[in-house]
Structure 1
């Protein structure tokens, strides 16, 4: 006599469970990946004043160095989504972290602008591939009810990495020189790679879609809910076969650019582009701008560290609100706040305490707006297109980061002062807000946030039947 297997939708199961210690481990590991990403991304900004002094180059000539990593970030992100959908989120994430650690170490031995530019580009390839896979993995292991706050909590690592970079640079550079910052940015990721190999699981949704062994899926789900048993269960990812097309019949990129998602995709790209233009212009050029106001190198680095530090609280607050209110409107309001704050910063140069407070608040708003975009994208796209949708938003948006670094270099070359640079940044902040407001109706049309099927047998009910 043959007994039919019970069917378990893995995402529905995760949504029904408490956030377990196993999921906390995933959150901590992804947090560390993003922290290492933040440290390495901002490293050139912290060492820029030392490069100008030691190598005797003009500030504007550092534009290619600062933008090289961001170009690599964009290319790495564009490639990361399709690769992750083919070979797995964990595999791409582990390789990317190891890759950017190795090239950061190599960059510490650069002896010219040209060498440093090439090595920063290679570092950026790894950085770009790491971020979207960390976002996708975390979003697929977080219950839907807390997904935004979980992804944003992970993104707090980026702010912490930037802040640690500022504090570490203020101590490392006077004692060991600018290469020590890049050495620190290489050793950390290499050590982290070993932890990822040992402790990080593959996405269960990816495993189900790719027809991996049910036994491996069961082992992971039992670590989320140790009292559940999955003997004889068949696992499914409901989204992969409820739209009329199989996963193989429509590629993830074709889905992201389909008529159903195209307008929302373009608005996500525009908002993220403008947000990163603001973010990376300030991240790369704040130390130099502060030096122009008369601050010492050490005070400039410490003042700059206030910018990302505020993002930790902002990410958690915005993520918590997004889980309860329309996410794109929450981020749009945050961008409006950014526009107000950058205008105020430009008028607070003469008062260091007031200036430090405004920099902290600006960092809180900019960082939480930009990082929350990933949580918004993860909720906008269905599972079968999520990795590519998030990755392509990050990749296209990174062009804004490149633009920010180059615009900063151009403004420095033209002799723009601190206040004028900050006032200009109100324009891209307003553009981002408008893009998210007009995107609002598309969130309802996408269906990505609505349950797509009720065909679920939860493990608890299976277990109850077995015990009964």
Structure 2
């Protein structure tokens, strides 16, 4: 008599040490995010040379830089539901291929109009990639280390952006600005086939979609060789119950998830507004405070350096404490440091130190938001929920470009700008805290309902 064994894939992942298959997912996810970081930052590297060769102004370059951000927002909004319907892998492979092709096309641009169009199309692919990487990694990570692994992967963004800067510094004088775009396009086109053949689909996604058992078993064999056999069935009975018959969009906007979704959107919007405004305008603000261009570069570098260190530390802490309280306190502390920074602009050493601390808090906490959203939604709607947080949050980044320019046009001082930025920091903290409190109340209410039902 043949005995069929039921395997809980969520418990299988949680009960075992992280294996080679999961490490491969993390490595490939890191590579995707690094390519993403390189491509997002690429126009900043070549902008000075474009101004020199084409005679364009900062005002003319503004739409070029904003086009990619708009594409990022729309790409994230569209890609999430697609990934929840067709799978994380297919969307990731297509998005990497897509932004590689359009980055190559950008290298052939002959005027500003082409640049704007091609950067918008590139942004669509970039926007689809980032949140789906976080979704896939979170679904292969044990619950005990999910936040840390997601933050490790998202550190690739800084690595890609910084590495691209060093490469651009060598390539532009020797090969011209288009060579950087060619490299930024060729690398994704090389990586896409590797993803197609080596990157596994989310096993949790396949179980929720009731994929053929043989397809699931092949992935389970990579996760835990010898555990499954030809008679095994697969399920996730230990996972939170979701209304799988509903569309991912309906789940994200359902009564159970609506408030949390709104708070994630508000928090990420405010957080990206703050970080992008600082990243774009900090060099100018520091220079106009009486420092040299080199001093401004040092301050900005320390702000960026704090990001990956903060990401790893906060990701590690999120797996060991209440993530909502941790992130809310981090944003509040960062906001306080912003206010202090505005008060000590005449002390260069303090400006550098505080810039590092602020980068640690905000860049680190922003990475933590990816882990927070991935753990909030059920498998059936995880890609949609995480992607929509990214898509709506990106409009905060778009708005920051105009807000920063308006602040400077109005003659705001160093202290006024950084004092004002403490407001979105506080708003982000309150949104995360409200989400955590609401979630705790929902769990308490669910516990009471179970107790009442059991007592009947």
TM-score calculated relative to the size of structure 2: 0.89
How far does residue 18 in structure 1 lie from its aligned partner after superposition?
A: 0.6
**Structure 2: which 5+ residue stretches go unaligned?**
448-456
Q: Out of 209-218 and 13-22, give the one that drifted further.
A: 209-218
Instruction: Summarize the Cα distance change of 1:309–1:45 in structure 2 as closer, same or farther, 3 Å threshold.
Output: same
Q: 1:282 aligns with which of 278, 281, 298?
A: 278
Task: State the partner residue of 1:32.
Answer: 31
Instruction: Summarize the Cα distance change of 1:241–1:278 in structure 2 as closer, same or farther, 3 Å threshold.
Output: closer
RMSD, aligned CA: 2.7
Q: Distance in 2 between matches of 1:190 and 1:346?
A: 44
Instruction: Summarize the Cα distance change of 1:45–1:305 in structure 2 as closer, same or farther, 3 Å threshold.
Output: farther
Q: Distance in 2 between matches of 1:409 and 1:63?
A: 10
Instruction: Summarize the Cα distance change of 1:377–1:326 in structure 2 as closer, same or farther, 3 Å threshold.
Output: same
Q: Distance in 1 between matches of 2:179 and 2:402?
A: 25
1:85-113 superposed Cα distances (whole Å, 9 cap, x missing partner): 12110010011011112212222333333
**Structure 1: which 5+ residue stretches go unaligned?**
452-468
Bigger RCO of structures 1 and 2 (CA < 8 A, at least 6 apart): 1
Q: Distance in 2 between matches of 1:54 and 1:299?
A: 27
1:14-50 superposed Cα distances (whole Å, 9 cap, x missing partner): 1111111221111011011111111211222343444
Q: Distance in 2 between matches of 1:241 and 1:338?
A: 34
Instruction: Summarize the Cα distance change of 1:345–1:46 in structure 2 as closer, same or farther, 3 Å threshold.
Output: farther
Matching of residue 318 in structure 1 with residue 314 in structure 2:
yes
1:343-362 superposed Cα distances (whole Å, 9 cap, x missing partner): 34445555555444333332
Instruction: Summarize the Cα distance change of 1:240–1:347 in structure 2 as closer, same or farther, 3 Å threshold.
Output: closer
Q: Is the 8 A contact 2:270 2:427 kept in 1?
A: yes
Q: Distance in 1 between matches of 2:222 and 2:126?
A: 29
Count of aligned pairs: 446
Matching of residue 183 in structure 1 with residue 179 in structure 2:
no
Matching of residue 336 in structure 1 with residue 336 in structure 2:
no
How far does residue 392 in structure 1 lie from its aligned partner after superposition?
A: 0.9
How far does residue 176 in structure 1 lie from its aligned partner after superposition?
A: 4.1
Task: State the partner residue of 1:65.
Answer: 64
Task: State the partner residue of 2:380.
Answer: 384
Q: Distance in 1 between matches of 2:151 and 2:250?
A: 27
How far does residue 194 in structure 1 lie from its aligned partner after superposition?
A: 2.4
1:413-460 superposed Cα distances (whole Å, 9 cap, x missing partner): 445555543333212111101111222222235669x99xxxxxxxxx
Task: State the partner residue of 1:168.
Answer: 167
Matching of residue 210 in structure 1 with residue 206 in structure 2:
no
Q: Is the 8 A contact 1:96 1:130 kept in 2?
A: yes
Write out aligned runs for 1:89-128 (5 A). 89-128=88-127
Task: State the partner residue of 1:15.
Answer: 14
Task: State the partner residue of 1:459.
Answer: none
Q: Is the 8 A contact 2:171 2:179 kept in 1?
A: yes
Matching of residue 140 in structure 1 with residue 136 in structure 2:
no
